[in-house]
Structure 1
């Protein structure tokens, strides 16, 4: 009887009693169990002793060279581990069943079984991002790593990749319902979870929609609900009809996020344009098509509406604005400028790490005046852009104030991370 077959002490084990830990590979334990219980006879052992060196050489050749002793020793470890992985997975860790498997099958077939398990694992998606597919030439180095991993690590990774695969399949199913080609998802590197969330949100907000929306179309859908003062509770966020049973768990896992975001999305007090800007945290959780032409058309249409209403010509940006932004009117650069204005710091559209840290220290010591940036926008920005810039700035102030003024962030790690994410901070 092996150490794993009987307790360390004869007395009934107490809750905190110590027991022997058998650290041998599972293959070795199964082999010893089979010999001790007469399952594996001398003839079978002799066959194994003949096959083992052949297997070691094959594995060493596959991963490197069969002529180097270190490679052969590593190949032995790989072979033992591959057999252990296969026996543990196929028998559920039952020593008796594992011994019978060794008796009834060839030694090399059990090693191949473990290798096939790992190949299937490696072939599964490692990331839920559609743009991060694997490469065929990566199988060998990955197999070299995983052939020395434990069964617990294999099971954990299998569970993780199974969830990812289900999310990708669910996202693919939702996209197909709106005639959204998978190539488009791969091209922009869409995350499967973001596709699922957007699909659930689209079904709730526009159940009759036939196409996947871009940001402009989605903004109009939400704006219509805000105008009607639709309550979040009045919208149904449910699993799509016809969704395959095997994908329901993957979709259900994203419902909580959608339900949590819906009230804010419908709240007229929350600037919608800021929620949907490309760098916002909300936008990162939902996949919308990028369509620059649609955004340009929407912009020109808004100008045409001003002309039709008989409004005065839009106010152009002032020379002061042009000098301050220096042609950098992307959102991170503008937020950097506004933050400098609010803290009384020299106007810049890009900060160094040192300057950013100095700005945070000044803000925490003397406070800031967000209204100064708002006044600057209204006095100097182009008239047609002022409302958007004010919304952008107000959203930043609302979301970042607690972090920038936190007394608990002694080393300014959180504050600086926020500035790197939202503003323009050069490395």
Structure 2
């Protein structure tokens, strides 16, 4: 049985091009002498750029860098053709080839490696570090370079597409620059899929309303809205919009229509900002809270920012009483009696927060209960200090009145 073994030529492309040129008579001894004279100058320049020309190690690494940069540029420009590469070495200087490789790396570094929409400026130090790494420690192959360029160009197209969508929906650059292209695209597709009269990016309350519309059995999408939107669109963006809409229908729509997650949870938890949300005036924030947490607003009587209201509600819930934002004297005494008889049910408070509070506030509310109110109330509502007996709850009621909403006046006895 005959076996064939493939031989991998791991030599730098620069070396392969020189050997090919000599063998084929494309490079003469004069050409080689010229390159031999040019090389030290280039090596010193590279050594000075990345270190110093006075250290042997820097000079040695500079020689390697120069060969890698020349190889990268030659193989890319000649498209792997050794004859074309040898002719390029014959007709152009080594320095022009190494600079060509360096410029290729600089261009790659300047391209977007992801799809965030912030303004990009080249950081000279970061660029130098990138060229430093990719020309010596981790030299990049032409195949890898081209693939990374392809990915970056795709990123740039997504960025340009998202910015175009934002402009069509009257969103300014400073409003979306902290978001990614995908977030803007998803929100635009949501708006276009529903097809309302006003095609604008949603605010928080509008996002919740749009998801609510999707979940109605009577909802029907309006494909004509997409066609109308794309009437004057550039051809490339027309195609990208239709692709994005199909991706939205296949991947995003089922999640939005599922009732397993509320719109509030999708917006702030599961998606982790996967939708662009337009910032609007304070009244929209109020509207949003009313939409996503109607029961929370009712229980807190619209005073969810008042620590005393929250403390009253939490102490009620922790002792098995109805969640109320204020307490009469007899209700405050009942809370204290329940605590002294059976302690606090901390899990009941945590579940109450999960069931009713707006998602983005839950962790802070839980921390308030567990770290502040719970340990403090356990001390001041207890009657286990023989030095400070509190049989008539006077001390506990004073604490309650100071930290909660106690709806009584005068004596607490």
Give me the TM-score of the superposition, normalised by structure 1: 0.65
Give the whole-Å Cα distance in 2 for the aligned partners of 1:299 and 1:34. 72
Partner of residue 171, structure 1? 162
Partner of residue 214, structure 1? 203
Q: Does 1:182 align with 2:173?
A: yes
Q: Does 1:150 align with 2:140?
A: yes
Give the superposition deviation at 1:21: 1.6
Give the whole-Å Cα distance in 2 for the aligned partners of 1:228 and 1:19. 63
Give the whole-Å Cα distance in 2 for the aligned partners of 1:285 and 1:86. 40
Q: Does 1:89 align with 2:76?
A: yes
CA 1:252–1:51 in structure 2 vs 1: closer, same or farther (change >3 Å)? farther
Structure 1 segments of 4+ aligned residues over 6 angstroms from their partners: 232-239, 300-303, 423-426
CA 1:105–1:265 in structure 2 vs 1: closer, same or farther (change >3 Å)? same
CA offsets per residue over residues 10-44 of structure 1, 9 Å max, x none? Answer: xxx98x62122211100100110001000111111
Give the whole-Å Cα distance in 2 for the aligned partners of 1:270 and 1:139. 46
Partner of residue 367, structure 1? none
CA 1:40–1:244 in structure 2 vs 1: closer, same or farther (change >3 Å)? farther
Give 3-state SS (helix, strand or coil) of 2:269's partner: coil
Partner of residue 85, structure 2? 98
Give the whole-Å Cα distance in 1 for the aligned partners of 2:31 and 2:299. 96
CA 1:100–1:172 in structure 2 vs 1: closer, same or farther (change >3 Å)? same
CA 1:262–1:232 in structure 2 vs 1: closer, same or farther (change >3 Å)? farther
Give 3-state SS (helix, strand or coil) of 1:284's partner: coil
Partner of residue 387, structure 2? none
Deviation larger for 138-147 or 254-263: 254-263
8 Å CA contact retained: 1:200, 1:237? no
Deviation larger for 168-177 or 242-251: 242-251
8 Å CA contact retained: 1:215, 1:276? no
Give 3-state SS (helix, strand or coil) of 2:346's partner: coil
Give the whole-Å Cα distance in 2 for the aligned partners of 1:43 and 1:84. 21
8 Å CA contact retained: 1:219, 1:276? no
Give the whole-Å Cα distance in 2 for the aligned partners of 1:300 and 1:115. 54
Q: Does 1:279 align with 2:297?
A: no
Partner of residue 139, structure 1? 127
Aligned match for 2:37, one of 22, 44, 50 = 50
Partner of residue 285, structure 2? 296
Aligned residues: 326
Give the whole-Å Cα distance in 2 for the aligned partners of 1:392 and 1:71. 56
Matches within 5 A, 1:185-264: 185-186=176-177, 189-206=178-195, 208-227=197-216, 229-231=218-220, 240-246=230-236, 254-259=244-249, 260-264=251-255
Give the whole-Å Cα distance in 2 for the aligned partners of 1:183 and 1:51. 50
Give 3-state SS (helix, strand or coil) of 1:279's partner: helix
Partner of residue 78, structure 1? 65
CA 1:300–1:392 in structure 2 vs 1: closer, same or farther (change >3 Å)? closer
Give the superposition deviation at 1:79: 0.8
Aligned match for 2:102, one of 83, 108, 115 = 115
Give the superposition deviation at 1:294: 3.9
Give the superposition deviation at 1:108: 1.2
Give the whole-Å Cα distance in 1 for the aligned partners of 2:91 and 2:72. 17
Give the superposition deviation at 1:252: 5.9
8 Å CA contact retained: 1:195, 1:286? yes
CA offsets per residue over residues 304-324 of structure 1, 9 Å max, x none? Answer: x99xxxx99959767351588
Give the superposition deviation at 1:249: 6.8
8 Å CA contact retained: 2:117, 2:181? yes
CA offsets per residue over residues 317-356 of structure 1, 9 Å max, x none? Answer: 673515889xxxxxxxxxxxxxxxxxxx9737xxxxxxxx
CA 1:247–1:161 in structure 2 vs 1: closer, same or farther (change >3 Å)? farther
CA offsets per residue over residues 356-376 of structure 1, 9 Å max, x none? Answer: xxxxxxxxxxxxxxxx789x6
Cα RMSD after superposing both structures: 4.1
8 Å CA contact retained: 1:216, 1:294? no
Aligned match for 2:46, one of 59, 64, 68 = 59
In structure 1, list runs of 5 or more residues that go unmatched.
Answer: 1-12, 326-344, 349-371, 397-419
Q: Does 1:129 align with 2:116?
A: yes
CA 1:94–1:264 in structure 2 vs 1: closer, same or farther (change >3 Å)? same
Give the superposition deviation at 1:225: 4.6
